[in-house]
A and B are shown apart, each in its own frame.
Chain A
């Protein structure tokens, strides 16, 4: 694997059984039934990988990657878990529920083909009718489903006029920003344009594959990996970086796929988190004052990228803005994990520390890069968090 991507992850043979991963696992902490990262991945990986012997408790792994970050030896425990889950589903059938949770990209497409589909999807139970979602098949009714935007980002993009520029990026919106939160994409365009950069999109990109990986649809996610990596390489050959604003998408495209499939072709050093990218340019510092205090929840999958906290670095250039880290662990939603009926309570228990931190804070805004983190925060605290790009876009004076 090349040296230039985040986290050079090693195999189970590097596990020295130190248990740091177990101490760090939020699911193990919240749930007595989960045997935890060390006892599942390294032990099972070593002993049972080829056998059809699956510890059901592996279903409880949320793929939050706290274990990986705790490991002194760079063992990717989470990806070993995902590999094993995939292995299990080679010989077992997926539930209807898992199929739905894994295929949010096609769900979004389906909704867009129905006239006023986004409205129907947002009217409570109608969403269930369209996508077949219900408590009966094991998706919790206790939390709202993501709200579909009136127009998705890719549609909105066509109506946005940008100055042509020699400096270009390709924006990878990912499913959540595209279908549910296109404002973040719009904010990204404003920020890039304010820095003289033209934003392109590539219609041939597909879902990063994270929901498929975490539900064990390995073959499908490999197909996406082939497609997306080829696209990224293509842009690389044109010297145009691919920028994502969802930290799960960027992590998956940078390194997770390469680790899971053990395939260097999927290790992409031409993918950047939006703020990581902004750190590499000569930033336009013509920023308006934003006299606000912001509480920042750093998503797990940003921490896993090992790039520090670029959003905080960039936003601290905004006059009068104060940023405080929530420092309260994992939000607990972890993609589709918290939508599973039997895991809803665990998900909320994991998020409790973060909710309490936010509820007791008198900050003006809460922010986080990750869409699911923002949904979980809203569900747990009734506060509506922002993406840091929205805050930065607001500070660029209209010229």
Chain B
């Protein structure tokens, strides 16, 4: 393969989004993405949470205000507020252009109903998941699907009633697959609703339930591509419909993955599948090339590391106390003392979760003393270290913001 301008390692949200930004801003660049596994999007709700809790676990009304108060060594501060704002704009424009528009902003949280009927929040959500109209509804109908095991309308009704004690909340079950030979997944139903017949079948079964100010809550069944099937169902029923999150595989995450892949395809960027990068050649703090498990070598001027953390092998933890970044052998931030680990309260920062790579203002890897390790590598997404993104509710926001910056500042 001819030498590339940029080689991106990782085909998850961060890797795909950085390629999109990079190619949009620098169309002349030759880029490739190495992906091993489908990334975490098919398992995620596809919402973009920028920051939901502060260091003490307190809920933040404005992600932006929370970000401003973060310490200077937090990756968000390294990325910079300006870039974060631009990342949000870029993401919103992109998602709207690809017919999967997102609601929300950096200054407030958008509520989302979980698969259990509790409310979580995120800065940006697909419009079909935005639960804010719930407060205007008089009657809420939770729609279950016969045969689908992963969605419990009764549990949702019970939990939602606690949140909205004044509202009339009930559940109804509808049919999609008669005599299933296996338990249908929510994803199976979503695929049925990719078609007009599917949407019609949905609406026909619920039409009679509609009264004034009725709102429906469903599992995420409105297709696997774009937001059009949700829009069509809402107009057929002349009512608002709100999708919940669900257990994986998750159609809403799959929708986001699809528009990212389709847009990259249109831009002529290849996602090289099943490609595990195992090592690199480094000279004078510059990476010259990386090597795949099959022995193939890719040369590039610049590399973006978006390989994820433990789950996807971006950081290996073969022995308990020695995490390793296998490709560039980068120094890893790690809290060694075991009692820091696994805090009882899940939403308090977990030592384990803070493990990762530290970066400078240009996303280049540094060590604990701040010394620059590699000149032509940008580190993005979950592999960034020093903070617990899960506890603070910022996983996908970090991915989007760092990916944007890596694409924007191309050198």
| A interface, CB within 8 angstroms of B | 3-8, 16, 18-20, 22-24, 29, 32-36, 39, 57, 68-74, 254, 269, 276, 279, 303-310, 312-313, 325, 327
Beta-carbon nearest neighbor of B12 in chain A: A72
Q: Which of B184, B278, B295 contacts A32 (CB 8 A)?
A: B184
Q: How far is the CB of B301 from chain A (nearest CB, A)?
A: 18
Cα distance A266–B291 when bound, in Å?
22
Return 25 A-B CB contacts under 8 Å, by A number.
Answer: A5-B294, A5-B295, A6-B274, A7-B274, A7-B276, A7-B294, A8-B293, A16-B311, A18-B43, A23-B249, A24-B38, A24-B42, A35-B182, A36-B182, A39-B182, A57-B182, A70-B37, A254-B294, A303-B274, A304-B273, A306-B272, A308-B1, A308-B272, A312-B270, A325-B265
CA distance in complex: A327, B268 (Å): 11
Report if A303-B294 is in contact (Cβ < 8 Å); known contacts: A23-B187, A33-B181: no
> How many chain-B residues does the 8 Å CB contact rule pick out?
40
- Chief secondary structure at chain B's binding surface: loop
Asked if B254 CB lies within 8 Å of chain A CBs, one says yes
Name the residue in A20, A71, A72, A73 with the highest tally of chain B Cβ atoms < 10 Å from its Cβ: A72
* CB-nearest residue of chain B to A38: B249
List residues of chain B with CB within 8 A of the CB of A307.
Answer: 275, 292, 294, 296
Q: Which of B293-330 contact A (CB under 8 A)?
A: 293-296, 308, 311-313
B188 at interface (Cβ–Cβ under 8 A)?
A: yes
Name the distance in Å between A251's Cβ and chain B's nearest Cβ.
10
B residues in contact (CB < 8 Å) with A:
1-2, 32, 36-40, 42-43, 177, 180-182, 184-185, 187-188, 191, 247-249, 254, 265, 270, 272-276, 278, 292-296, 308, 311-313
B38 close to A7 (CB less than 8 A):
no
Task: Find B276's partner among A8, A303, A309 (CB 8 Å cutoff).
Answer: A8
Beyond the given A22-B249, A303-B273, A305-B294, could you list 6 further A-B residue pairs with CB under 8 A, ordered by the A residue number?
A18-B43, A19-B249, A269-B295, A276-B296, A306-B292, A309-B272
* B273 contacts across to A, CB distance below 8 A: 69, 303-304, 306
* Distance between A360 CB and nearest chain B CB, rounded to angstroms: 15
CA distance A23 to B249 in the complex (A): 6
Known: A308-B272, A313-B2. A72 touches B37 (CB 8 A): yes
Cβ of A5 and Cβ of B293 under 8 Å apart?
yes
Q: Are A20 and B274 within 8 A (Cβ)?
A: no
Give the docked Cα–Cα distance between A36 and B185 (Å). Answer: 11
Please pick, from A16, A18, A23, A69, the residue contacting B274 in the complex, using a CB distance under 8 A. Answer: A69
> Which residues from chain B contact A279 at a C-beta distance below 8 Å?
1, 296
Partner of B42, one of A23, A305, A310: A23
Instruction: Determine the distance from Cα of A8 to Cα of B326 in the docked complex, in whole angstroms.
Output: 15
Are the CB atoms of B294 and A6 closer together than 8 Å?
Answer: yes
B36 touches A72 (CB 8 A): yes
CB neighbours of A22 from chain B (8 A): 185, 187, 249
Q: A71-B37, A325-B265 are in contact. Are A6 and B249 (CB under 8 A)?
A: no
A309, B36: Cα distance in complex, Å: 15
CB neighbours (8 Å) of A5 from chain B are: 293-295
When distances are taken between beta carbons in the complex, the residues of chain A under 8 Å from B2 are 313
| Residues in A neighbouring B275, C-beta threshold 8 A | 306-308
CA distance A16 to B37 in the complex (A): 13
Check A306/B274 contact, CB under 8 A, given A20-B249, A39-B182: yes
Other-chain residue from B40, B181, B270, B276 in contact with A74 (beta carbon distance below 8 A)? B276
Shortest distance in angstroms between B57's beta carbon and chain A's nearest beta carbon?
A: 26
